[in-house]
Amino acid sequence: MVRFALAASAVVAVAATSCAAFAPASRSSRAFVAHSGASRLHSSATAEDLIKSSGAQKQIGNDSFLNEDLMSRARNGPGRKNKEKLKIGIVGAGLAGLIAAMDLSDAGHDVEMFELRPFVGGKVSSWQDKDGNHIEMGLHVFFGCYYNLFGIMQRTGKFEEALRLKEHVHTFVNEGGDLGSLDFRFPIGAPVSGLQAFFKTEQLEPIDKFHNAVRLGTSPIVRALFDFDGGMDMVRDLDDITFTEWFTQLGGTRGSLDRMWDPIAYALGFVDCDHISARCMLTIFMLFAIRTEASVLRMLEGSPQTYLHDPILEYLAERNVKVNLSTGCRDIEHELDENGRPTRVTGIRVGPNDELREFDAVVAALDVPGIQKVLPESFRTHPMFDNIYKLECVPIATVQVRFDGWVTEMDDMGRMVDVSGDQSDGKGAGIDNLLYSADAEFSCFADLALASPGEYYKEGEGSLIQAVFDERAFSRSNDQIVQDCIDQLHSLFPSS
């Protein structure tokens, strides 16, 4: 057994749901923890003969694997200029705020943005530490049904060069290096490609596969193939029960939940099947069943800042949108009626000196903790705003660990330890894709030196594993989270 050394010193980057801080540590690794609340495809045909619903017909795949109709609005923008030019302030420079600024500036408005952090991106942010390492707030994977985001990336002209297409396989790594998969590669597309993937998966025992098929065969997904709108109505009615409750109603087994569905649920929403709603899970599975490309994965060429946010910032700069970093919103100025209820927003107070900035309209593009802090108390007289305070966040911890060998390569001992020469552009050894595990705390992980090599591969060094822990890790110290991540990686990949 080759026990890989971990490359250098550890840096633990800690970010709560709405802030970030750094704390150094000493370790025989180079590891980062962030807390926060091109391969080809083998199949492109879609089994259109099986799709009878007119609603579903609008969703079915095409030979290009990307639905141009669904992307066109995001790609083309609002398509009109407003007669009245408004002065608009946007609070928050995450993706929601950035894309709102794109549309509003294209519509002819004067737009200015305010962001508390020293970088943009929100939950999809990344930054560089003092040593030049790119640190991500989370592991970012792009499913093939992210049509709006793909349209935005086409609008900035960076879609093709920014994203790396992965093999149409969802891989599960089990203890001892045992691999399971959902292999969607098939000459016929959805739903046939998905059915055969579940039928052939090594991740489930035969009895679990049988009950899995029975339960999915009696789900709203089947109705959606013939009546998409009716299927969606059924799914919307399942928001009040968990996926576990729904799945076990007609014979779904605990084995299926533990070995397959829990890792998927953690990857989707960072909670397990006992807590995630059936509506959440079945909505995405319905898209998988109808659209071949929905389950295809892409990952960025490098960091989100470089390949996602910088092109948007350039787009905004060309339209004279000003982005103020490290400038948080302290209060929202507004008028009240005779009953003390807010009627009109007039501006915001920003920065350490509570500077008043007046606007015709204000867009609050914030996460849940952010909007809860910014909203004035008077806004809670409106039920819509008061309901915001009933929302809760799911915290996550993201760990990045650099190794001196290729961790996910388990067959070729020579390739495992060979980091010599130029192995850029994904030429290193191992699995170039998103990975799931039912035998580790982290919900999903990937070797960024392979999957997003543009900025994460370093010559002479090996894997950069990025793993996402859920809230179960938050009772431990940063050092302990890093060590647990390393230990669990060695358990999954004994050859490392």
DSSP letter assigned to residue 4: P
Whether residue 12 is predicted with pLDDT greater than 80 in this model: the reply is no
As a whole number of angstroms, the distance between CA 298 and CA 65 comes to 12
Contact 464, 456 (CB under 8 A): yes
For residue 233, give the 3-state DSSP assignment: helix
Strands 342-350 and 329-336: antiparallel
The percent of residues in the chain predicted with pLDDT above 90, rounded, is 74
- What are the respective helix, strand and coil percentages of the chain, to the nearest 5? 40, 20, 40
Residue 198, sorted as left (phi over 0), alpha (psi -120 to 50) or beta, turns out to be: alpha
Residues 116-158 pLDDT 10s: 999 999 999 999 999 899 999 999 999 999 999 999 999 999 9
pLDDT at 62: 39
Residue 96, sorted as left (phi over 0), alpha (psi -120 to 50) or beta, turns out to be: alpha
Q: To the nearest 10°, the Cα dihedral for 453, 426, 267, 224?
A: 120
What is the average pLDDT across 166-184? 97
Strands 396-402 and 329-336: unpaired
- 449 — phi, psi (to 5°)? -65, -25
As a whole number of angstroms, the distance between CA 62 and CA 44 comes to 7
pLDDT at 394: 87
Q: Taking the CA atoms of 205, 206, 209 and 214 in sequence, report the sign of the dihedral they define.
A: negative
Entry pTM: 0.87
Residues 467-488 pLDDT 10s: 999 888 989 999 999 999 999 9
Q: Give me Rg for the CA atoms of the chain.
A: 24
Map tokens 């049509």 to a residue. Answer: 147
Q: Which of 52-66, 176-190, 303-317 has the lowest mean pLDDT?
A: 52-66
pLDDT at 471: 87
Residues 341-398 pLDDT 10s: 999 999 999 999 999 999 999 999 999 999 999 999 999 999 999 999 999 888 899 9
**CA distances from residue 324 to 122, 243, 311 in whole angstroms, order as listed:** 14, 42, 17
pLDDT at 45: 38
What residues form DSSP beta bridges with 331? 349
Whether residue 176 is predicted with pLDDT greater than 50 in this model: the reply is yes
Note the Cα 376 to chain centre separation in Å: 30
The percent of residues in the chain predicted with pLDDT above 70, rounded, is 86
What residues form DSSP beta bridges with 121? 94
